[in-house]
Amino acid sequence: MLVQLQYLRAVAALMVVYFHAILQLAKVNPALDATAFVYGETGVDIFFVLSGLVMWLTTSGRAMSPIDFARRRIKRIVPLYWLATLFSAVVALVAPSLLKSTVFDLPHLIASLLFLPWANPADPSTITPVVVPGWTLNYEMFFYLIFALLLPLSETRRIPAMFAVFAVILIACRLLSETTATRFYGEPIILEFLAGVVLGWLYRQKMLLPNRWAWAALAMGFAFLFINEALMRPESRFYAWGIPAIFIVYGAVSIDFSRLPVLAWLNYLGDCSYSIYITHAFTLAFLRVAADRLPIGIFKQPVLFVVLALVLSSIGGAIIHEITTPRRKVAVTSRPPA
């Protein structure tokens, strides 16, 4: 695994945790206006570009059937997500006051387990599953399905075919009558996966940026991601947030990290990023309940609340990762194999 990808996974996960922690502050301390500090939603865009890149790198030059690919992805994604979803559903059923964005609804639960887009009964204007951050996994699994179906094609035809499939999907969703599915899959955010696949192809062809330009692309990507998140609404994210995310990922994979020391803790958080992403909503819910019910004023201090959210979400994600992930050694490198 490329160490820089591990770093980006960790950073993207913590960006999302920070974003949701700031949103929770309004519930913990209604008198506080933290809107000026709402950043980090764009971590999702980094994840999507990374996903396309990693899928290409892990399948390029290898004979892998769609069934084998699907089995690997299901093994990686489904167990923890289903556990989190069922746990949330039980809490929503027996202690609904503990949750603010989830109510128990059987059709919604089934759709969530099947990774199907469904209007959230707690807020019908949103298309989110029982575990709200899992909306990204609905896109991920849709992308995996398309990617798996195109695996029998030769690599030279696979990317053009992917372009065609995504174009057909986006056009069809615009032309068909509006439904939950057409609204969800018609979002151009799915193009970020395709951009990641193209970056994966460039990487395998060793068409990388020079080291100096790579660092510049990485820095500019994060700078514009920060600026655009403040200035541009989520409706324009596929270009306002997606393009900076592409710069970030392309810059990162182009950098030669072999001369730099490996940051073991950040590399480890990259391993735990999926668990952090799935479980951080529970950590934040715990902090919110603690702030409401415990006579400890420090929970309502904004900086401390956010720091606790980041630290406890990382620890909780790491614990779940250790419990749910088989022990195996992963070689860390910064360049493709010869």
Instruction: Give one DSSP letter per residue of 18-78, joined into a string.
Output: HHHHHHHHHHH-TT---GGG---TTHHHHHHHHHHHHHHHHHTTS---HHHHHHHHHHHHH
73 inside domain: no
Q: Is residue 251 predicted with pLDDT exceeding 60?
A: yes
CA–CA distance, 155 with 175 (Å, rounded to integer):
31
Residue pair 198/141 in contact by the 8 Å Cβ criterion: no
Q: What's the CA gap between 266 and 269, in Å, rounded?
A: 5
The residue count for the chain:
338
**Looking at residue 209, what DSSP letter applies?**
-
Same domain, residue pair 155 and 143: no
Whether residues 5 and 36 share a domain: the answer is yes
Residues 120 and 101 sit within 8 Å (Cβ to Cβ): yes
Instruction: State yes or no: pLDDT of 331 exceeds 60.
Output: no
Q: Name every residue whose Cβ is closer than 8 Å to that of residue 237 and which is 6 or more positions away in sequence.
A: 42, 45, 189
What integer best gives the mean pLDDT of the chain? Answer: 90
pLDDT at 59 over 80: yes
Query: What pLDDT score does 158 carry?
Result: 95
Name the more confident of 101 and 298. Answer: 101
Do 94 and 140 have their domain in common? yes
Residue 66 confidence (pLDDT): 95
Q: 86 and 213, same structural domain?
A: no
Instruction: Give pLDDT, residue 332.
Output: 57
Task: Find the mean pLDDT for residues 331-338.
Answer: 52
pLDDT confidence bin for 26, thresholds 50/70/90: confident
pLDDT score of 296 more than 70: no
Distances in Å between the alpha carbon of 321 and those of 131, 175, 276? 18, 42, 8
Q: Are residues 5 and 101 in the same domain?
A: no
Last residue of a domain, one of 260, 276, 301: 260
pLDDT of 243 above 60: yes
Please, which residues have CB within 8 angstroms of residue 285's CB and are 6 or more apart in sequence? 98, 99
Residues 156 and 197 in one domain: yes
69 lies in a domain?
Answer: no
Above 50 in pLDDT, residue 338? no
Domain edge (last residue) among 260, 284, 305:
260
**pLDDT at 336 exceeding the cut of 60:** no
Q: Is residue 76 part of a domain?
A: no
Helical segments of the chain, H only: 3-28, 43-59, 66-94, 106-113, 135-150, 155-175, 180-185, 191-204, 211-231, 237-240, 242-254, 264-271, 273-293, 302-324
Q: Tens digits of per-residue pLDDT, 177-234?
A: 999 999 999 999 999 999 999 999 999 999 999 999 999 999 999 999 999 998 888 7
Query: Do 191 and 58 have their domain in common?
Result: yes
Q: In this structure, are 200 and 224 located in the same domain? A: yes
Are 202 and 225 found together in one domain? yes
Q: Which residue did the predictor score with more confidence, 292 or 198?
A: 198
Q: Is the pLDDT of residue 329 over 70?
A: no
Higher pLDDT, 13 or 338: 13
| Amino acid 285: pLDDT | 87
- Averaged pLDDT, 119-130: 92
Query: Around Cβ 292, how many Cβ atoms within 10 Å?
Result: 11
- The percentage of the chain sitting over the pLDDT mark of 90, rounded to a whole number, equals 72
Q: Is the pLDDT of residue 161 over 90?
A: yes
Are 73 and 147 a contacting pair, CB within 8 Å? no
Q: pTM surpassing 0.85? A: yes
Q: How many domains does the chain have?
A: 3
Q: What is the pLDDT of residues 174-192, one digit of tens each?
A: 999 999 999 999 999 999 9
| pLDDT value of position 299 | 64
- Is the same domain home to 324 and 301? yes
In the chain, the percentage of residues whose pLDDT exceeds 70 is: 94
Residue 75 lies in a domain: no
Say if CB 73 and CB 213 are below 8 A apart: no
Domain of residue 125 covers 82-149
- Mean pLDDT in residue range 51-68: 94
Say whether both 57 and 164 belong to one domain. yes
Residue 325 dihedral angles phi and psi, to the nearest 5°: -110, 125
As beta bridge partners, residue 123 has 120
Instruction: Quote the pLDDT of residue 337.
Output: 46
Query: Is it the case that residue 297 has pLDDT exceeding 60?
Result: yes
Cα–Cα distance between 237 and 42 in angstroms, integer? Answer: 8
Q: Is 87 within a domain?
A: yes
Residues 233 and 318 in one domain: no
Residue 31's pLDDT band, with cuts at 50, 70 and 90, is: confident
Question: Per the domain annotation, does 77 fall within a domain?
Answer: no
Mean pLDDT of the region 141-151: 97
Q: Tell me, what DSSP letter sits at residue 84?
A: H
Q: Is the pLDDT at 334 greater than 80, yes or no?
A: no
pLDDT tens-digit profile of 34-45? 778 889 999 999
- Secondary structure (3-state) at 125: strand
